[in-house]
Structures are given as C-alpha cells and as structure tokens.
Amino acid sequence: MVLSVLAVQTQAAFQVWLFSEPEIRLTGARWLAEQTTNFAVEIFAQPVSGRKLKAEQMSSVLSVAWSAEKPIERSNSDHDLMFARLGATIKAMLGNTIRAVELHDTGFSVIAPFQRIKTDVMPATIAASLSTLPLSSNEPETLIPASLRIAVQGRDGSWMSVSFAETVGGIGYALPLLPLIGGGLIIAAISTLLARRIVAPLDRLVEAADQIGKTRDFVTVSDQGLYEFGGVARAFEDMQRRLLSFVTERTQMLAAISHDLRTSLTRMRICAEQLDAEDDRNAIMSEISDMTAMVDTTLAFASGETSEATNQSMDLAALLISLVDEATDKGLDCSYVGPDHLEIVGRLIPLKRAFRNLIDNAVKYGSVARVDLKASHDRVEIGINDNGPGIPEDRIEEAMAPFRRLDQSRSAEIPGTGLGLTIVRDVISSHGGAITFRTEHGRGFTVTVLLPK
C-alpha cells in the first residue's frame, strides 16, 4: 500500500515538473502564407511524377509533402478567426491556380485523449464584427500556433501540405502522456504484486484445508505471511488439534474395548469347541466369527487403517488382477478387463481393502463382478459391474453411512457389518478420488471409481 501511494505521488510530482514551464511555439502568419504560396507555385508547376520528389527537396524548417489524396481529415479554418484569415491570404496569393485551402491545428489531437485548446471570443457580437479578409502588407505580423498544418488543393485535385517538421506526430506532443503511462504502469505493477501477496496466503490456506480430512496427520498452515491470515491459519491448527485429540481418545477407547472383546470371544470359542452337540457348537462358532469380523472391521475403520500408510508407486492393474484371481479361486464369478500393468501413486493396503469390499459386494448382491480398468493422461477409471438391483439414487448417502444396510430382509442371509462402502469412500477420498453409482435397466449396477495417477 505504501509503495502504491509513493508511486502516485511520484507521478503527480513529475507532471507538476513537466508542466511547470509549458512551451507554446508560435510563427508568423504572413511569413507562413508566403512560404506556403511559394511551395504551391513550384510544386504544382512540376509534372505529376516529379511533385513528390520536389516536395521532399523543398522541406527544411517546414515539412512539405504532396499526395493525390487529402492529407488531413478536417479543417479548423471555419472555427478560428486567424486561421480563416490565413487561409484567405493564401487563396488570394494563389488566385485561380488552386481549388481550396484547408488548415488544421494538430495540437494534442494527434495523441488521444487530448484535444486542441479551444478559444472563444466573448461576447459573440465582437466575433461577428471581426474581419476575415486576407492579411495586408500594412498590418503588423501576427503570431499563430506553430502546430498548424496547411493543405492546398491544386486544380488537378491533388494536394500539397505544409507543416513544421516536428509538429505532426512529434515526440514533444507525446511527452505529456509519458508520466500518465509510466505512472499507470508502475501502479499496475505494484497493485499486481500486492494482489498476489494477498491472494497467495489464501491459496496456501485452501491447499492446507483441503488436506485436512484426507490424512490423519497434522497439517501445518500457520506460515501465511500476513498477520490476518496467520490468525485464520492458527485457528485451523487449533481446530485440527482438538479434532485429532478427540479422534485419538475415541480410538484408544475402541482399541481397549476391542481388546477386551477379543479376549472374551477367544474364551467363548474355546468353550464352544468343547460342546458335544455339533449343531449347537456350529451355531455358536458362527456367531463368534460374525462378532469377531464386526469387531475387527469397526476397529480398522475407527483407528484409521483406511487412511494411514505412506504414498508409494504401485501397480493398480496387478492389484485388481490379484483380487479377481482371489475371488475366482473361491468359485465366484469374477472377471477383469484392462492393461496388465498400470502404475499410480497411492497406499496399497487401504486401496486393496476398498476394492476387495467393492468386489465382494458385487458378488454378494449381483452374483457376478466384472472389473474394468481404463487410464487417461492424468487419472484412472475403475468400473465394477454386477447384475444386482443396485442402490436407489435417493438412498446413496444412506448406503454410505456407517453401520447401515439397506436390505434389512437379507441382512441375516448375507453377512456384513454395514461399513464396506463407508471404508471405500474414506479410502478413495483420501487419495483425492471420487466414487459414483449408476443403475441401468438390463445392464445391472456399476460402481465407478476415479483416481489420480
């Protein structure tokens, strides 16, 4: 902010210095009329092919040019008394050898947005009484702006123009724009730097906030530069500490409960194995196995097994092929279509658990699992299709919730804890991916997983 103020003040000071001694160049009206007349007589006396060269040879203090087209867009001779008298003087000197004379004060109008200085005679009755007759030899010399440009049209329709060499498009008239342009560029550059300095901490804060939830590790976000953003970053860190402390306490509690449950389940298994009645023994052993699986799955989900471990290069195709082979060896209908090898960066154990859950669900509820793997330049797409009824679109979020099983009537027939899809979503999200569901009539149910490479 300080730099912007300094830039504005410097620009203003430079403009004050630039215009502190303004320079207005003047010339004699009669002298200019005589010079223009002489140039016109000599140039129009030449053959058309030699007029341009003659005009260039005559240029010195005055710039002389000849062209077949009109060299100026508009005339000021009708709006300025002195211009009108100068034009009338040139016409009188040249007589019938020319068609027209037009005058134009280039002034600042050469470079937008500046316009020439407008002069008015007050009151209007005085302006009406002033003469527009040609200048006479008895009158004293009259000064006019040297920024004037005169165009004379010959009898053949061609034009000759006269002006001071440095007035048309000269750097002198562009000079007032230099502080404006330079100051504007300086202010724009400083403003851009300040904007980037303000926005950059926000970008870093967004990146850090995006990592929160994808990992159970502490994400440092305090190095944000500006004090205001530093306060927000510190609040984020405090929130993380409280969340991590809460999760850690609950995890330790679940681990302790799991340990006690496992001990009790082990004792129950030993006692069940000693039963003489085979039917009772098998029933109790089945219940113990279901409870053990539920405890293990719940503990794995709560303790962060799905999101811990280190990212590493892994062969996703080999992982999917091994899971398909594992299901096939159990006598399940499972197939794979895709490349033999596909390297991505991820966490092997959580991804293996997630895709095993999806394949198991496809076989349990759809009788078959067809795994398809495709890759593009920046991501991979895994599709798992089955013949099942799928999940209604309005119940997808319910299906992803922990310990929820949609088909309660089949819960007793199909074992499970209701954490399969919850674990899948947790794993895929922690890898920066996405999961979608699609049910098509006649084509079954498809789960699509998108992962970055």
pLDDT in tens, 34-57: 999 999 999 999 999 999 999 999
CA distance 412 to 290: 11
Give 250-298 as a 3 state SS string: HHHHHHHHHHHHHHHHHHHHHHHHCCCCHHHHHHHHHHHHHHHHHHHHH
| Euclidean distance between CA atoms 144 and 29, whole angstroms | 6
Residues 382/449, Cβ–Cβ less than 8 Å: yes
* Nearest partner of 206 among 181, 183, 229, judged by Cα: 229
DSSP 405: -
Q: What are phi and psi of 74, to 5 degrees?
A: -145, 160
Q: ω before 389 within 30° of 0 (cis)? A: no
Distance CA 153, CA 94 (A): 11
User: Tell me, what's the pLDDT at 110?
Assistant: 36
Residue pair 190/4 in contact by the 8 Å Cβ criterion: yes
* CA neighbor of 29 nearest in space, from 118, 154, 148: 148
The pLDDT of residue 124 is 62
pLDDT tens by residue, 404-433:
666 544 444 555 566 778 888 888 888 888
What sign results for the dihedral spanned by CA atoms 279, 280, 286, 289? negative
Which residue is associated with the tokens 């471990």? Answer: 309
Confidence at residue 125, expressed as pLDDT on a 0 to 100 scale: 62
Tokens describing residue 398: 């319910």
Secondary structure tally for the chain: helices H, strands E: 13, 13
For residue 332, the tally of other CB atoms under 10 A from its CB is 17
Map residue 45 onto helix, strand or coil: coil
What pLDDT is recorded for position 334?
93
DSSP letter assigned to residue 176: T
pLDDT given for residue 111 in this prediction: 38
Q: Which residue has the tokens 């085979």?
A: 278
Alpha helices in 303-376 (DSSP H): 316-329, 348-366
Helix 420-430 vs helix 278-302: angle between axes, to the nearest 10 degrees?
30
Residues 364, 410: Cα–Cα separation, whole Å: 11
One-letter amino acid for residue 193 of the chain = L
| Residues of the chain falling short of pLDDT 50 | 108-116, 167-171, 306-307, 408-412
Tell me whether strands 26-28 and 143-145 are parallel, antiparallel or unpaired. Answer: antiparallel
pLDDT, the chain, mean: 78
Residue 357 CA to its chain's centroid (Å): 40
